[in-house]
Amino acid sequence: MMESPIDQGVAGLQHSVMPEVVMILFASIIVVLLVLILAALIRIGSKLGGFERTATPLDSISTEKESSSEVSYDGAFGKFMDERPELLGLKKSEQFAAFRKWRKEQGLNWDGK
């Protein structure tokens, strides 16, 4: 059976239109994805801006730590520091080394026995 010239024209039109439709569909999918990425970036940026507004500057934190000479400790370390106020002038590492030694002397460490 022979196809009519109209059928041949429609088939030829479909072959020539299909790549254009695919390209338009592909381009519109890319545009939609780019818009979604842009919206996500704007949302992340606004959240980061909120964090920046609520965060305190590092300079004020460091001056607060330097200005506060009175430090309170809780628990066993607090008890240890209360008994030995001369250790307040030492570095933290030296304080904790003395604390570990004190815990061992008091029998507070887990020796695995």
Give residue-wise pLDDT tens across range 28-77.
Answer: 999 999 999 999 999 998 888 777 777 766 655 555 554 445 566 778 88
CA gap 80, 105 in Å, rounded: 12
Q: Give the three-state DSSP class for 74.
A: coil
List the chain domain ranges.
Answer: 1-55, 67-106
pTM of the entire predicted model: 0.35
* Maximum separation of any 2 CA atoms in the chain, in Å: 109
Judged on CB neighbours under 10 Å (0-12, 13-18, 19+), 80 is buried
pLDDT of amino acid 32: 97
| C-beta separation of 58 from 65 below 8 A | no
